[in-house]
Amino acid sequence: MPKRLANRVDLNLLELFVETYRLRNLTQAGQQLGLSQPAMSRALSRLREAYGDALFVRMPYGLAPTPLADSLYASASAALEIVARSLEAPTFDPESANRVFRIAMSDTGEQVFLPPLAGAISKLAPGVRIETMPSDATQLPAQLASGATDLGIGYFAPGGPGVLHNVLFTAEYACVARKNHPLIEDTLTLEHFRQLGHVVVAFPSTAHTDVITRVLASPGVEAAIALKVASFLSIGRIVSQTDYIATIPRTLAKSFETAWSVRSFVPPLPLGAYDVVQCWHERFDREPGMVWLRGLTQQLLQSVT
């Protein structure tokens, strides 16, 4: 069985070889490396033994490399350079980066979170591209661990081994109804909430659906679900053209007020608040690009409420 490389020659000896070859003087090489003349002589003896060659021969003008030393110098220098670069802390320069970040988020996230994030990235990191994908909480831990997804943003419990997260902001729900609704004036009452038909999202992987449908079916409310849709984004137009109402994240309700002829109201019963988080895997916790992206997301989205 061949000897391990570390048992034949170590980095200290390679460094000694390169400096001696460059300076052609053992004393000067020792000064550069902080080694005494006896230590340099012992190390050179080990090098000669490892390679089975004299490597350097004393001449009137200094040390002359042997043909083997000439053939070793380029590869030894390159090896030391590779090791030195591997020990340098990696960095991320947004202005020059050319990279794709893959972010899992819901359709609500694309409507509310993506515009400010995309706008900031286009200015700060013009070579960076964003790809979004559905935020399926059951698949997300494995996707984060594998690197198929860089970041998850939304309302979910980011479980799974090695999954880290931080809270971006705490959000609340709002009810939306069309402007000039024939039954609603300035306040949405509990009676309105009970009697009017509700539009809900029938999408199994969003936690919002569970919260809202549970409230609608609770004793004392028992509100009717008039319409089930596959996406939160269709609710704005539907509500603006019907007498239905909907309970949705307040951040989304605010965007609907701008895009559609709807008004948002404080819900007439307590629905509780929820945390919007960003999550990632510990494998990439210190990766400079990911650190930059998480910091930017935190800065931009903490004021979305």
Report pLDDT digits (tens) over 12-31: 888 889 889 888 988 888 88
The arithmetic mean of pLDDT across residues 89-111, rounded, is: 90
Exposure string (b/e) for 148-179, b if CB count within 10 Å is 16 or more?
ebbbbbbbbebebeebeeeebeebbbbbbbbe
State the CB neighbour count (10 A cutoff) for residue 181. 19
Residues 152 and 293 in one domain: yes
pLDDT at 37: 86
| Residue 241 pLDDT greater than 80, yes or no | yes
Residues 138 and 179 in one domain: no
The arithmetic mean of pLDDT across residues 224-230, rounded, is: 93
For residue 236, what are the contacts with CB-CB under 8 A and spacing of at least 6? 176, 255, 256, 259, 260, 262
Residues 162 and 15 in one domain: no
pLDDT at 7: 45
Residues 159 and 286 in one domain: yes
The arithmetic mean of pLDDT across residues 240-267, rounded, is: 93
Q: How many distinct structural domains can be found in the chain?
A: 3
CA distances 247 to 77, 183, 207, Å, are 67, 17, 13
For residue 178, being part of any structural domain is answered with yes
pLDDT category of residue 305 using cuts at 50, 70 and 90: low
pLDDT at 122: 95
For residue 262, being part of any structural domain is answered with yes
CATH code of the domain containing 34 = 1.10.10.10
Residues 22 and 65 in one domain: yes
Quick: pLDDT tens for 137-157: 788 999 999 999 999 999 887
CB 30 within 8 A of CB 40: yes
For residue 91, being part of any structural domain is answered with no
The arithmetic mean of pLDDT across residues 265-285, rounded, is: 93
| Residue 5 pLDDT greater than 70, yes or no | no
The arithmetic mean of pLDDT across residues 34-44, rounded, is: 88
Residues 291 and 234 in one domain: no
| Residue 269 pLDDT greater than 60, yes or no | yes
Residues 178 and 259 in one domain: yes
CB 224 within 8 A of CB 147: no
Residues 18 and 53 in one domain: yes
CATH code of the domain containing 198 = 3.40.190.10
| Residue 2 pLDDT greater than 50, yes or no | no
For residue 246, being part of any structural domain is answered with yes
Comparison of pLDDT for 33 and 175, the residue scoring more: 175
pLDDT above 70 as % of the chain: 95
Residues 177 and 265 in one domain: yes
For residue 92, being part of any structural domain is answered with no
Residues 162 and 289 in one domain: yes
Residues 183 and 47 in one domain: no
- How would you class 29 by CB atoms within 10 Å of its CB: exposed for 0-12, middle for 13-18, buried for 19 or more? buried
Domain span at residue 279?
Answer: 99-170+275-301
Angle at 169 between CA 164 and CA 171, to 5 degrees: 125
Strands across the sheet containing 163-171:
128-133, 99-104, 151-154, 274-281, 163-171
pLDDT at 145: 93
User: Of 42, 63, 86, which residue is a domain's last?
Assistant: 86
Residues 265 and 177 in one domain: yes
pLDDT at 125: 96
- pTM over the 0.85 mark: no
For residue 137, being part of any structural domain is answered with yes
